[in-house]
Amino acid sequence: MQILVTAGPTREFIDPVRFLSNRSTGKMGYAIAEAAIDAGHSVTLISGPTFLQPPEHLHAFRPVVSALEMLDAVQQFLPVADALVMTAAVADFRPARRFDRKCHKGELGSTLELVPNPDILAAIRPLKEHRFFVGFAAETNDVLASAAEKLHRKGLDLIVANDVTQPGAGFETDTNIVTLLAPNATAETLPMLSKAETAQRIIARMEAEMQKR
């Protein structure tokens, strides 16, 4: 299969030295890409800025910075993909104005005007067709209810939920504790596993769900 994976944070620049972003390191997304390659798939990785080395044997690697660039890249690669795994932590807002030179603090003022970024999954939903879409939901409260709502709202085939406040789960760790939710299936909670093992289990579940079709 051709699998498209997005990973890492996006950065939304205010000026050449300042940006809005989040705590994503890209580890989970890179582990997904690696597990998919190991399972014999052809993998394209679209990545926001990370300090990670892209896995070997990718079909293609596309570094991006902002949510708008990530949307462009997803739209470009999606037509040839059988499945999309949206691991990226896309910034929901960007500054309304981006300065092309460094601003002095007086120029920025004390409030920053933001505009919403597109929801990438929502924007590409009309192109979904037969494709299998996996989303991620990093939550701090009401984890399963929020993930179930996102599964439905975003029209996903599988969502990977995690409580990022739990020790051993979430950002900047090498382990994760996730629950897999699919429409009309009981939730499957995996034990604390390395991100590599978690990724293998997610790819295996995705393959199993696609087999059922």
Interactions with ligand CTP, residue window 130-149 (CB under 6 A): 135-137
Q: Does 69 participate in binding ligand CTP (rule CB under 6 A)?
A: no
- The answer to whether 22 is a known catalytic residue is yes
Q: Does 158 participate in binding ligand CTP (rule CB under 6 A)?
A: no
Q: Does 151 participate in binding ligand CTP (rule CB under 6 A)?
A: no
- Member of 86, 181, 203, 206 binding ligand CTP (CB under 6 A): 86
Residues in a beta bridge with 189: 179
Measured from the CB atom, is 154 or 201 closer to ligand CTP?
154
Measured from the CB atom, is 17 or 76 closer to ligand CTP?
76
How big is the site for ligand CTP, counted in residues (CB under 6 A)? Answer: 14
- Member of 32, 46, 84, 120 binding ligand CTP (CB under 6 A): 120
Q: Does 150 participate in binding ligand CTP (rule CB under 6 A)?
A: yes
Q: Does 178 participate in binding ligand CTP (rule CB under 6 A)?
A: no
Measured from the CB atom, is 67 or 182 closer to ligand CTP?
67
Which segment (42-50, 95-103, 113-121, 178-186) binds ligand CTP by CB under 6 A? 113-121
Q: What is the DSSP string of the chain?
A: -EEEEEESB--EEEETTEEE--S--SHHHHHHHHHHHHTT-EEEEEE-S-SPPPPTT-SEEEE--SHHHHHHHHHHHGGG-SEEEE--B--SEEES---SSPPPHHHH-S---EEEPP-HHHHHGGG-TT-EEEEEEEESSSHHHHHHHHHHHTT-SEEEEEETTSTTSSTT-SEE-EEEE-TTS--EE--SEEHHHHHHHHHHHHHHHHHT-
Min dist CB 157 to ligand CTP, Å, is: 12
CA distance readout (Å), 108 to 10, 98, 122, 151: 22, 11, 32, 38
The residues that are catalytic are: 22
Applying CB under 6 A, which residues contact ligand CTP?
67, 86, 88, 90, 92, 117, 119-121, 135-137, 150, 154
